[in-house]
Amino acid sequence: MTRIRKLNCFDYPKIKKMIAYLGSDEGAQFSKALLNEPFGFINSILPLKYKFLHESFILLDGKEILGLITAEPVIGNHYKINITRLIFQNNLYDAGKQLINFVISKYSAKGATSFIVSVDECHDELLRLFTDGCGFRQCASETLWKLENFEKSKDIPCGFRPFNNGDAKEVCRLYNSEIETIYKASFERIKQEFEDPILGGYSAFYKNRYVLEEPLRKKIIAYLSFTTSDNSNFIIDFITNDGYEISYDDILKYAISEIDRRRSIFYPIIKQKNYTKSADKVGKYLTSKGCKPIQTQIILVKNFYRPVKTAENALQVFLFGENSKIVTN
């Protein structure tokens, strides 16, 4: 008989065997996650809006682990849930389906309204598992480009400065304005999603963020970030106001100079968000620079919309007269 329960540190030896074929990076990430297990207990009993860590669950058949799933509320908008990891034994797609549906049921009962997962476009069976098996819809995609033969320029572009929480509202407005209309319902963010989390130190990622201001009006016209989980591969992500001519060369020069201040050896990777107005322009620019696309991830979404309650007229009207009618509305 199968059952699903929360992952704990005693499961690590069995999990390590399951993921041995994935390489050392995945095992290292699990080790780091399990170090937070004492905090995980506190996190598990908190209401959804106060959770600050991801949660992992395993599917068991007796003592054998058949699969694992990890879910993580979006910081600043805990009613969005990212499914960040799904592992199951070879061809046990039913185990994957059980785990996905368990997470959806568990978090939607706590008030979650959106579930998001990114799947490599090459994994056709996994895509079908989420879409046909669990009701997710295919939204858009993101492509990662490897930046090769880059130069560490000493001429650092001006105008950039570190992001602070006071910029969150303006950055949020910029981000949402640059999303293509057909994708807005799925990708729009709220201001709190851009603010620095109080317990950000427990994140599995290290992230730096910057903004570019228009000199005269001090208006934010570009937002830049780079993220790493291993201090080696840095994912550079940026969005710009399409009403301004902003040099992508300057953006990447600044990002690389900031990374170079922290690491002497690193590998920059550019994220192209294919749901933004500038997606084609960014793609052409990266191609012209000799960058190579190394991965495209399909973004899948499942939404639960809260019904708007209609006002109910619970008034009972009793009319006493010749016909002795009773009317109930």
- Per-residue tens of pLDDT for the chain, all 329 residues: 889 999 887 887 887 777 765 555 555 666 566 555 556 667 777 778 878 788 899 999 998 999 999 999 998 999 999 999 998 888 889 999 999 999 999 999 999 999 999 999 999 999 999 999 999 999 999 999 999 888 777 777 888 999 999 999 999 999 999 999 999 989 999 999 999 877 655 566 789 999 999 888 889 999 999 999 888 999 999 999 988 999 999 999 999 999 999 888 999 999 999 999 999 999 999 999 999 999 999 999 999 865 555 555 545 444 444 444 434 44
Residue-level pLDDT at 28? 61
Q: Can you give the residue range of the structural domain that contains 257?
A: 146-296
Same domain, 79 and 219: no
56 with 158, same domain?
A: no
User: Is 72 in a helix, a strand, or coil?
Assistant: strand
- Inside any domain, residue 219: yes
Same domain for 155 and 282, yes or no, is yes
**Closest listed residue to residue 119, CA positions, set 98, 102, 105, 133:** 133
Asked if residue 23 and residue 154 are part of one domain, the reply reads no
Give the model's pLDDT for residue 328.
Answer: 40
* Beta strands 233-240 and 267-273, pairing class: parallel
User: Where are any strands of DSSP class E within 8-146?
Assistant: 55-61, 64-74, 77-88, 114-120, 137-146
Q: Is residue 251 part of a domain?
A: yes
Whether residues 190 and 277 fall in one domain: yes
Amino acid letter at 71? Answer: A
Spatial distance between the Cα atoms of 187 and 209, rounded to a whole number of angstroms: 19
Give the contacts of 67 (CB within 8 A, at least 6 positions apart): 58, 59, 86, 87, 88, 89, 92, 95, 96, 98, 99
Contact (Cβ atoms closer than 8 angstroms) between residue 301 and residue 139:
yes
What pLDDT shows up at residue 203? 65
Q: Return the pLDDT at 148.
A: 85
Q: What is the pTM of this model?
A: 0.84
At residue 323, the pLDDT reads 46
Task: Please name the residue that has the structure tokens 């620079």.
Answer: 289
Q: Do 178 and 241 belong together in one domain?
A: yes
**CA 126 to each of CA 27, 109, 308: distance values in angstroms, whole numbers, following the listed order:** 22, 25, 34
Same-domain status, 264 and 154: yes
pLDDT at 329: 42
With a CB cutoff of 8 Å and minimum separation 6, the contacts of 119 are 126, 127, 130, 297, 298, 300
Residue 320 lies in a domain: no
- Predicted local distance difference test score (pLDDT) of residue 137: 95
Q: Does 92 map to a domain?
A: yes
- Report which secondary-structure segment, H or E, holds 221: strand 219-228
Phi, psi of 103 (to 5 degrees): -65, -45
In a domain, 278, yes or no: yes
Do 162 and 283 sit in the same domain of this protein?
yes
| Per-residue tokens: 309 | 């309650």
The verdict on 151 and 291 lying in the same domain is: yes
Residues 166 and 245 in one domain: yes
Where is 127: in which H helix or E strand? Answer: helix 124-128
At 44 the pLDDT is 75
Question: Does residue 126 belong to any structural domain of this protein?
Answer: no
Task: For residue 163, give the CATH number of its domain.
Answer: 3.40.630.30
In a domain, 60, yes or no: yes
Q: Where among 113, 131, 154 does a domain terminate?
A: 113
Q: How far apart are CA 1 and CA 192, in angstroms?
A: 43
128 in any annotated domain:
no
- Cα dihedral 158, 162, 166, 169 sign: positive
- Structural domain total, the chain: 2
Does one domain contain both 161 and 264? Answer: yes
Both 164 and 288 in one domain: the answer is yes
pLDDT value at position 301?
A: 96
